[in-house]
Amino acid sequence: MEVAQQEILNKTAEKETVNILGSVALLEALIAEGVDTIFGYPGGAIMPIYDALYDYNDKLDHILVRHEQGGIHAGQGYARTSGKVGVVFATSGPGATNLVTGLADAQIDSTPLVCITGQVFAHLLGTDAFQETDVINITNPVTKWNYQVTDATEIPEVLAKAFYIAKSGRPGPVLIDITKNAQIQLFDYEGYTPCNHIRSYRPKPIVRMPYVEQAAELINKAKKPFIIWGQGVVLGSAEQEFKTFVEKSGIPAAWTILGAGAIPTSHPLNVGMLGMHGNYGPNVLTNECDVLIAIGMRFDDRVTGRLDKYAKQAKVIHLDIDPAEIDKNVKTTVPVWGDCKETLPLLTALVEQKQHTAWLNKFRGYTKQEVEAVIHDELNPTSGEMTMGEVIKQLNDLTHGEAIIVTDVGQHQMVACRYAQFNNTRSNITSGGLGTMGFALPAAIGAKYGAQDKTVVAIIGDGGFQMTLQELGTIMQTGVDVKIIILNNRFLGMVRQWQELFNDRRYSFVDIESPDFVAVAAAYRIPGKCVNERAELQGALKEMINSKGSFLLEVMVTKENNVFPMVPQGCSVSEIRLK
């Protein structure tokens, strides 16, 4: 097949046509787009593509997952750490529908994916053929774009559009459904032309300088300005531009969980995490600032709490690439549309160099209260059962904030996001908007493929781990190096916390029994250890970090520990509780 591949390259380079299969044209498109890794699971309707892939294994690394949901979460992890488009293969019917949760997750978290699904022959569409599902209508609400190919001649152009749409502007998932006849159809292939324009699609809004000037004027007059930033800074590769803006303006800055790492946790103007389980100061002082500068974030309800009580005293400046986010939840005083990599330097040039020392010290005062009330005991317990926080603290001591931390969803997620050190961008990988349990294990696999020079640590609860633990088989077969920490509190912890606080401790179906996780890992030829005693924790973490290859560490933590601070549902962010 190498000779055939070279013939395709030679003839297309000379502007000659070559007769190839639709399945081969698909793989040529992936190579032209710089794809190196595919996560997938074969089946009948996508079999011609897998047959063609057999001859491309020197150019495309295919990772056989154990479930299509695992495949798409792995694709998300890959995209989030690499900054490239994640690629996922699945067959028709149940294979395609198993992607839906991951598509919804990627859509709300703006993760660029191209998912290829096989489909029944075109003449069978609508007949309820074996493993036929209307994947286009099913996935329309959870994709940035989707399209069904029934003729092989469409494949090069459609794939070019798919990659352009997935990665341009506000990124997102794209699904291309290819009927079996199109996969096996021969056609005259004239080469692959990447897409850089689609009529009526404008991925970046026009930057309007008068709004930038108005924003700068508000910032320069502000006495208590406050920056809140989200993943848009990371997606726009604008970390340096953002850092320059923060340091010149001297404004305290706080982050949403997907924005973590854009500037290091230790940066003196980084005042912590926003949101329901965020830090005390950033939440309280949101309702005291006079100018609120939101950069690449969407004012999610977990960040704002009650909208009718959110930052009503402040002038709001909102920088975002997606015009639909402006005024969607919070009324904006000055909108700055555009890619923040372009808009931030324009704004930085106009803001005055300042230090807001008294205002910054107010944040630090709240931090001191939070340390005394919550953080010290969570990170430095001397008796009783182990806490999740002390595990994260000791992990920080070993990784020095250089690891990629992949979290599942629940109490452990909030603890890890609160206390892990993030010195680098693209180092906090979590399911933000959808909150998908089962995300972390497959996403960590993809994250490692996307950043092979980094230590990848998956932090997972005992409930979420059991949703996708079959992906231990993917680790076993590939030998990928992922460190897995299960923080086992024998509960569905976040739901239990809510039931304790708001339902009079009526613990309804949150007490979960688990298998011997270390034995399960051993069955997949992955070494592991279970830690019950505080004295064993540091040594076990060192063993995990220093192990060659994957390692599973189960840590038995206290059963009924709650994550605080907390903004109760229906409350203002300034009503955040320390206890």
On the question of a cis peptide bond just before residue 565, with omega within 30 degrees of 0, the verdict is yes
Tokens coding 221: 């007059």
Burial class (CB in 10 A: 0-12, 13-18, 19+), 166: buried
Which is the catalytic residue, given 180, 224, 448, 483? 180
Angstrom distance (rounded) from CA 290 to CA 251? 12
Reduced to 3 states (helix: H, G, I; strand: E, B; else coil), residue 523 is helix
Per DSSP, the residues of 292-336 read: EEEES----HHHHBSGGGSSTTSEEEEEES-GGGTTTSS--SEEE
Per DSSP, the residues of 227-247 read: EEE-THHHHTT-HHHHHHHHH
| Known catalytic residue at 68 | yes
Q: What is the DSSP letter of 59?
A: T
Residue of 367, 273, 290, 368 lying closest to 567 (CA atoms): 273
Please name the helix (run of DSSP H) or strand (run of DSSP E) that holds residue 488, with its range, or none. strand 483-488
| Known catalytic residue at 223 | no
Tokens coding 275: 């949101």
- Paired strand residues for 187: 20
- Paired strand residues for 505: none
Per-position b or e across 8-19, b if 16+ CB within 10 A of its CB: beebbeeeeebe
Are the beta carbons of 226 and 251 closer than 8 angstroms?
yes
Residues in Cβ contact with 461 at an 8 Å cutoff, skipping those fewer than 6 apart: 408, 409, 410, 411, 412, 413, 437, 486, 487, 488, 489, 492, 493
Sign of CA dihedral 392, 393, 394, 400: positive
Residues in Cβ contact with 218 at an 8 Å cutoff, skipping those fewer than 6 apart: 291, 315, 317, 333, 334
Which is the catalytic residue, given 297, 437, 467, 494? 494
Q: Tell me, letter by letter, the H, E, C secondary structure of 101-121.
A: HHHHHHHHCCCCEEEEEEECC
Query: Crossing angle of helices 68-82/440-450, nearest 10°?
Result: 40
Query: What Rg value do the Cα atoms of the chain yield, rounded?
Result: 25
Which is the catalytic residue, given 33, 68, 241, 554? 68
Burial class (CB in 10 A: 0-12, 13-18, 19+), 402: middle
Residues in Cβ contact with 484 at an 8 Å cutoff, skipping those fewer than 6 apart: 441, 444, 457, 458, 460, 521, 550, 551, 552, 553
- Paired strand residues for 20: 187
Q: How many CB atoms lie within 10 A of CB 535?
A: 8
Residues in Cβ contact with 280 at an 8 Å cutoff, skipping those fewer than 6 apart: 366, 367, 369, 370, 565, 576, 578
Which is the catalytic residue, given 1, 130, 209, 559? 130
| Known catalytic residue at 180 | yes
Catalytic site positions: 68, 130-131, 180, 494
